[in-house]
Structure 1
Amino acid sequence: MNVLKKYAQAAGMTDEAWKRHANPWSVWTRFAAIPLMIAAIWSREWLGWWALVPVGLVVVWLAVNPHVFPAVEQPGSWSARGIYGEKLWLRDRSLVTGDHRNVQRLLIGVGAAGFALLIWGLIALDGWPTVFGATLITLGQLWRIDRLGQLYLAHRDTAPE
């Protein structure tokens, strides 16, 4: 079992949880957590060790988020198709072929670069690498969701529910 499957299992990503996570509110509020986490970490400048409280709140939100919204049975929205595609991809990596695989690899690189810049910016409390890193992460994730939505559309007739 690969790392992502282990993570999904540890996070309690049952079939019902995947359906709840496909709710657009789940997807978009996870994106909203990015600037909240940045602000929480940055707040160490003003709050000292008390900054762990807002950091902890964001972490708790990210943990419960895929479980709190109503389930999406038929993915009609762009974000829901992306999450259903992610579920398919985790179950069978061979579904991603050719150009889709190359784009996935590119997105891993974009995300890693963004994460490195974000960490650098947060450690140094420097705005440009923080904002640029968060932007790369966000754009990479949006592109990834789009590609996984295309994967879902290509394989929805053969996908087990």
Structure 2
Amino acid sequence: MDILKAAEKLMSMDESAWQRHSSPLSVYSRFSILPMFTFVIGIREHLGWWTLLLFGVVVLWTWLNPRLFSAPTTTNNWASMGTFGERVYLNQKNESLIPKHHLKTAKGIILLQLVGLPFWFYSLYSIDTLLMMISTLYLMFTKAWFVDRMVWLYKDVKDLNPIYQSWYKS
């Protein structure tokens, strides 16, 4: 999807950043981003103008996260393979090796994420704490499901491309 490619470009993900992002510390700590955005925006009435500063810190964390950790010595784990699968998926226009069932399922999960976004945005607008928690958990669940699907994708295609094979370190 073009939105994913745009996000990759916005994040300036070069080869070094991708290698660092394959660290489980990067992947797992990245799950903190949505709750942090939710929290900062959710308490904006209490923070006033400080909201902008904290929002900036979360944006900075979002950009820094894939670069902060060193590349892992082993990539034989769920988090690393999820990152590799995402790279394969982002390259789908240039890659005929991706099985159609993976593309269909990934697009379905992305659609489910898009369905949850209006509820999340409304919860932030209305400062509805319960809806914030539910919609944030929903979006985090669908993100974890997407990453899990990317692991499956990577496992299915890694032996078909020498570049993909080179990412795997047992």
TM-score by length of 2: 0.86
In structure 2, what is the Cα distance between the partners aligned to 1:59 and 1:17? 17
Aligned position for 1:137: 139
The answer for the alignment partner of 2:77 in structure 1 is 77
CA separation in 2, counterparts of 1:95 and 1:40? 42
Stretches of structure 2 lacking an aligned partner (at least 5 in a row): none
For the Cα contact (< 8 Å) 2:97–2:160, is it kept in 1? no
Give me the whole-angstrom Cα distance separating, in 2, the residues matched to 1:5 and 1:23: 21
Indicate whether 1:7 and 2:14 are aligned.
no
CA-CA distance at 1:25 after TM superposition = 0.9
Greater alpha carbon shift after TM alignment, 13-22 vs 150-159 = 150-159
| Structure 2 CA distance for aligned equivalents of residues 119 and 3 of structure 1 | 18
The more displaced of 67-76 and 120-129 is 67-76
Give 1:99's aligned residue. Answer: 101
- In structure 1, how many angstroms separate the alpha carbons of the residues matched to 2:35 and 2:4? 24
3-state secondary structure, aligned to 1:12: coil
1:127 — aligned with what? 129
For the 8 Å contact 1:107–1:144, the answer to whether it is kept is yes
- Structure 2: distance between partners of 1:106 and 1:6: 19
**Where in structure 2 are the equivalents of 1:39-54 lying within 5 Å?**
39-54=39-54
Higher relative contact order (CA 8 A, sep 6+): 2
Q: How many matched pairs?
A: 161
Name the CA distance, whole Å, in 2 between partners of 1:7 and 1:13. Answer: 9
Which residue in 2 is equivalent to 1:38? Answer: 38
Select between 106-115 and 86-95 the one with higher mean Cα deviation. 86-95
Where structure 1 has 5 or more consecutive residues not aligned to the other structure, the ranges are none
How many angstroms apart in 1 are the aligned matches of 2:97 and 2:148? 15
1:87 equivalent in structure 2: 87
1:98-124 deviation line (CA, Å, top 9, x unaligned): 332232122112211221111100000
RMSD of aligned Cα (Å):
1.9
Aligned-pair CA distance for 1:144:
0.6
- What CA distance in whole angstroms lies between the structure 2 residues aligned with 1:37 and 1:50? 14
Q: 1:17 to 1:30 in 2, by over 3 A?
A: same
Partner Cα separation in structure 2 for residue 15 and residue 55 of structure 1: 28
Q: Which deviates further from its counterpart, 68-77 or 108-117?
A: 68-77
Determine the C-alpha separation between the residues in 2 that align with 1:46 and 1:134: 20
TM score, norm. by length of structure 1: 0.90
